[in-house]
A and B are shown apart, each in its own frame.
Chain A
Amino acid sequence: MKKKPLNLRNLAVLGGRYEKKLNELIKDKLNNHSVIDFANSEMKNHVKILRHLRQLNEDAAQALNLPTKEDIANVAKLNMQLEEKLDKMDAQLSKLLEEGRTKKKKEKKKKKHKDSKKFHKQKNNPQNENNGEAAEVETETENSGKKKALYALLANPLVPTGNEQYVRALEDILQRRRNNRDKHSS
């Protein structure tokens, strides 16, 4: 039988096969109670050495008036706490801003909905439109009521442009704006 030439790819396959066997053998040997007991006792020794070294380090640091690892960690913790507080404040601020934005959006949506409802109502029943509108303007609070009436009238294509109510409302708003401007400039 002709032997296959040994190239690098074959070597990789062969290596992989032996590696697997070797690893299984090692794991099998390690998965043993005596190894576990040995590891346990060595771990205890290791802990003792670590503790001793840490103690020495702390003593030396104290004598030399140097901060220990623990001291630096405590400072870092303070920094972390500060960062956490800032992060919480940032989150609260974002939440408030988001709430504000959603509120505005909701109001806008509500208004749009109300206007379109009114428009459809008036469209369906053009006879009652002026009476209903007039009654609403009277019941609304002073400024916002008039503004709303103005917008409603503007949005309503069935209302004639020369409507007295519309002109009065417009004049009122302009006057209020003028007054405000004068107040600010003075």
Chain B
Amino acid sequence: MTNIPRKLNFRSLWNKDDLKVGQTPRSAIWKRNKATLWYYPAAAKSKKHQTPLFLVYSLVNQAYILDLGPGSSMIEGFTKQGYDVYMLDFGSPRYEDKHLTLGHYVIDYIQTGVQRALTHSSAAEITVIGYCLGGTLAVMYAALANEPIKNLVLFAAPIDFSKVPYMDNWHKALKEGDLKVDELIDEYGVVPARVMELFFRIVTGPVNVSPYLALLGRSDDQKYVERWRRFDKWVKDHVPFAGTALKELIHDLVIANKLIKNKLVIRKNKVNLKKIKANLFVVSTEGDQLIPEEMIRPLMDKVGSKDKTYKRVKGGHVTLAIKGGIPDFLTDWLESRT
């Protein structure tokens, strides 16, 4: 333990306040309620691709994880490779948004956002990329879309809830009606960010000391400390969840598992996964404790896409998003399809 005092000079870094996130140049091209559609133009020196990317992030965390900082930003990676990127940030719902349903998110936000992106880019087609719960919403949208979606890329998106491999007794209790959460959700209206954080801490790991030990181990590495702090900020920066949408998710997806069974209905339209004809690329990570393979892989057999690829890679739930740049396998896949 002799090197501890030498390494503790990171305290000055620790106390630095100017912790900026989301530094890739962008402009807002559309806003609705709390949602914003950000446009990140392709880097000037790069070869420009014809098909822009439309990113949909989760409803649980802040979307800036996709643009955490220079060198650890997926969006920066896309723009450097010549893609025009559009990112839909749902924002933080407040009490007045308690009535928001999955229909609002899929139709009013995602579909309108895609239409806006298509108009703005004058592109003939678009690539939709969904992360985590944003991926689930992207799947629902892709099954209902009239817009020309060329590619659909999913990262750690929960689709099949038939067997949740953690806290299985809680899942069973929910299914059998022994655990009732509706009243609590109704009373809150919008589930507070702290409650969401607590839930995810319990599911992924109630004791969380290893990141701090890793930080201590590399405290003399300025870049690492900065990246760690940005990531830590994001981990603690949960957003509230609109009550009605959460109840729909619990009842329609977690309990009845309607999405994978093609029984989900959004605004009177049946979500039929067979209607997804876009080229499909599904990525799951080996160390993902939140969305294991069983929850996403079954989608491969349900879609109508002819061109579909499933890739399992090393890493955790958000490793690919913060690694910096785009992984080679994604570059190759997109390159030949845009």
Pairing of A with B:
yes
Which residue numbers of A lie inside 8 Å of B, CB to CB? Answer: 6-9, 11-12, 15-16, 19, 22-23, 26-27, 30-33, 36-37, 39-40, 43-44, 46-47, 50-51, 54, 69, 72-74, 76-77, 80, 83-84, 87, 91, 94, 98
A15 touches B32 (CB 8 A): no
A91 touches B115 (CB 8 A): yes
- Write out the residue numbers on chain B whose beta carbons fall within 8 Å of the beta carbon of A80: 33, 96
A36 touches B95 (CB 8 A): no
- Bound together, the chains give a CA A73 to CA B4 distance in angstroms of 52
If A12-B213, A73-B95 touch, whether A33 touches B169 (CB-CB below 8 Å) is yes
Q: How many residues from B make CB contacts under 8 Å with A?
A: 43
Which residue numbers of B lie inside 8 Å of A, CB to CB? Answer: 1-4, 7, 32-33, 94-96, 98, 108, 112, 115-116, 119, 166-170, 173, 178-181, 183-184, 187-188, 202, 205-210, 213-214, 216-219
If A12-B216, A12-B217, A91-B115 touch, whether A36 touches B169 (CB-CB below 8 Å) is yes
Q: Out of B7, B166, B170, B207, which one reaches A36, CB within 8 Å? A: B170
- Nearest residue in B to A22 (C-beta to C-beta)? B207
Q: Could you tell me the distance in whole angstroms from the C-beta of A45 to the nearest C-beta in chain B?
A: 11
- Nearest residue in B to A6 (C-beta to C-beta)? B1
- Bound together, the chains give a CA A73 to CA B208 distance in angstroms of 37
A27 touches B184 (CB 8 A): no
- Write out the residue numbers on chain B whose beta carbons fall within 8 Å of the beta carbon of A36: 169-170, 173, 178-179
18 extra interface residue pairs, beta carbon distance < 8 Å, beyond A8-B219, A31-B168, A36-B178: A7-B1, A7-B2, A8-B3, A8-B216, A19-B210, A23-B205, A26-B207, A30-B167, A40-B173, A40-B178, A40-B180, A73-B94, A80-B33, A80-B96, A83-B32, A84-B32, A87-B32, A91-B116
- Write out the residue numbers on chain B whose beta carbons fall within 8 Å of the beta carbon of A40: 173, 178-180
A23 touches B32 (CB 8 A): no
- Bound together, the chains give a CA A151 to CA B213 distance in angstroms of 80
Q: List 11 A-B contacts (CB under 8 A).
A: A19-B209, A30-B167, A32-B169, A33-B169, A44-B183, A46-B184, A47-B183, A51-B187, A76-B94, A76-B96, A83-B32
B187 touches A54 (CB 8 A): yes
- Bound together, the chains give a CA A83 to CA B169 distance in angstroms of 44
- Nearest residue in A to B169 (C-beta to C-beta)? A31
- Nearest residue in A to B115 (C-beta to C-beta)? A91
Q: Could you tell me the distance in whole angstroms from the C-beta of B11 to the nearest C-beta in chain A?
A: 15
- Nearest residue in A to B33 (C-beta to C-beta)? A80
Query: How many pairs of A and B residues are in contact by the CB < 8 Å rule?
Result: 104
Q: Could you tell me the distance in whole angstroms from the C-beta of B98 to the nearest C-beta in chain A?
A: 8
- Bound together, the chains give a CA A12 to CA B180 distance in angstroms of 40
- Write out the residue numbers on chain B whose beta carbons fall within 8 Å of the beta carbon of A73: 94-96, 98
The 8 closest A-B pairs by CB, nearest first: A76-B96, A12-B213, A73-B96, A8-B217, A16-B210, A15-B213, A12-B217, A23-B205
- Write out the residue numbers on chain B whose beta carbons fall within 8 Å of the beta carbon of A30: 167, 202
- Bound together, the chains give a CA A159 to CA B242 distance in angstroms of 73
Q: Out of A6, A19, A50, A83, which one reaches B187, CB within 8 Å? A: A50
- Nearest residue in A to B205 (C-beta to C-beta)? A23
A94 touches B167 (CB 8 A): no
- Bound together, the chains give a CA A182 to CA B202 distance in angstroms of 83
Of B3, B112, B217, chain A has the most CB atoms within 10 Å of the CB of B217
If A19-B208, A26-B206, A46-B184 touch, whether A31 touches B170 (CB-CB below 8 Å) is yes
- Bound together, the chains give a CA A51 to CA B186 distance in angstroms of 10
If A26-B207, A30-B167, A91-B112 touch, whether A11 touches B33 (CB-CB below 8 Å) is no
Q: Could you tell me the distance in whole angstroms from the C-beta of A15 to the nearest C-beta in chain B?
A: 4
- Bound together, the chains give a CA A40 to CA B3 distance in angstroms of 49
Q: Could you tell me the distance in whole angstroms from the C-beta of B213 to the nearest C-beta in chain A?
A: 4
- Nearest residue in A to B120 (C-beta to C-beta)? A94
Q: Could you tell me the distance in whole angstroms from the C-beta of A29 to the nearest C-beta in chain B?
A: 10
A47 touches B169 (CB 8 A): no
